[in-house]
Amino acid sequence: MLDRALFLFAEGFRNLIRHKLTVFAAVFSVFLTMIIIGSLFIIGKNTNKLIYYLRSKYKIEVFFEADLAKEEALEVVEKIESLSGVRNTTFIDKESATKIFEKQFGENILDYIQRNPLPMSCVVNLNRTGNFELDIMPIVTRIKSFPGIDNIDHQGKLIQRIEAFHSRFTKIFSVVSFGIILITISIILNTIKLTIYAKKDLVEDLHIIGATNTFVKVPFLIEGILQGFIGSLIAFLVLAVFLQIGNNFLTQFSTMTIRMDPAALSWMLFIGISISFIGSLLAVTRFLP
């Protein structure tokens, strides 16, 4: 049994050497596919990080009406804090506002104006984590409906744009990857089909001498799996080298680096081998009698 398994594996391996041209076409297809998918995935992962960072910086600033009492303002702050999507709030009374002004501009505003013109305000921090779009407009609308609110500053439009861009990128990434995978499966299917035609005599002879269908098919499947393995491995190595070169270049003028998922090799091999296996399986099912 083990000898037969070794024989079948060796046959699949030998097929790689015997059909160099078709094997090259298949390996190159997997390589290109994995380069594209790998690149998109790396871009996606790094964009995600940027999005999470931006989400963590989102905040709403609420300014209260000038004649509102501090107790009333604190009641409104309590209501804001209980809203869904709000993580916490920081209340800034008139005195604190003066200190912030002094810190920012280096001068005390009360030295120039007799009464304090700065309004009470509240910084609303939003929930930061989660792989979901952040839509702050419902929160802003709710806050606007509370009494004593004079003005609300927020980055709603910018946030919406960034989130929309991210969402569009994710959709395009999925569609492009799916399309490329289908094309590669079709290329693998055709290369294995060519191999099957090239080995028509072998297939016929194997059937004549009593080989089961499994015995005939397994070497073609192994050939496909090996093509997927080689193509994905080369793609991973090329991406890793390019990433290293790119990061060396980036670090010259930025602290930002592009990172590769530590599990990238595993999932690239998994996707590459799966694509090749599906292509080979379709070919042997359709073209072997």
Q: Which stretch binds other proteins (CB under 8 A): 52-60, 70-78, 202-210, 266-274?
A: 202-210
Could you give the string, one character per residue 11-50, with x where binding to other proteins holds by CB under 8 A and - elsewhere?
-------x--------------------------------
**Which of 71, 104, 106, 208: binder of other proteins (CB under 8 A)?**
208
Contact set for other proteins, span 215-254 (CB under 8 A)? 215
2-10, 50-58, 151-159, 160-168 -> range binding other proteins (CB under 8 A): 2-10
Residues 6+ apart with CB under 8 A from 60: 123, 124, 126, 136, 139, 140, 143, 152, 153, 154
Distance CA 71, CA 152 (A): 20
Question: What sign does the dihedral 88-44-178-38 (CA atoms) show?
Answer: negative
Cβ neighbors of 285 (< 8 A, separation 6 or more) are: none
By beta-carbon proximity to other proteins, the closer residue of 110 and 206 is 206
Beta carbon nearer to other proteins, 14 or 70: 14
> Can you point out the beta strands (E) in 67-194?
86-92, 121-126, 149-153
Residue 275 near residue 181 (C-beta atoms within 8 A): yes
Binding segment for other proteins (CB under 8 A), chosen from 78-86, 131-139, 207-215, 224-232, is 207-215
Partner residues linked to 267 by β-bridges? none
Near other proteins by CB under 8 A: residue from 79, 94, 142, 207: 207
Q: Across the beta sheet with 59-64, what order do the strands follow?
A: 86-92, 121-126, 59-64, 149-153
Position 178 contacts other proteins (CB under 8 A): no
The stretch among 1-9, 142-150, 182-190, 233-241 that binds other proteins (CB under 8 A) is 1-9
The stretch near other proteins (CB under 8 A) out of 131-139, 149-157, 201-209, 259-267 is 201-209
- Site for other proteins contains 1 (CB under 8 A): yes
Q: Which residues contact 85 (CB under 8 A, 6 or more apart)?
A: 126, 127, 136, 138, 139
Q: How far is the CB of 11 from other proteins (least distance, A)?
A: 9
- Residue 13 or 28 having the CB closest to other proteins: 13
197 binds other proteins (CB under 8 A): no
Q: Rounded to the nearest whole angstrom, what is the least distance from the CB of residue 276 to other proteins in the complex? A: 22
Which stretch of DSSP H or E encloses residue 279? helix 264-287
Query: Distances from the Cα of 218 to the Cαs of 1, 23, 284, in angstroms?
Result: 14, 17, 9
Query: How many angstroms separate the CA atoms of 231 and 225, rounded?
Result: 10
Residue 209 binds to other proteins (criterion: CB under 8 A): yes
Tell me how many residues contact other proteins (CB under 8 A).
18
CA 224 – CA 221 distance, rounded (Å): 5
In the complex, which residues of this chain contact other proteins (CB under 8 A)? 1, 3-4, 6-7, 18, 201-202, 204-212, 215
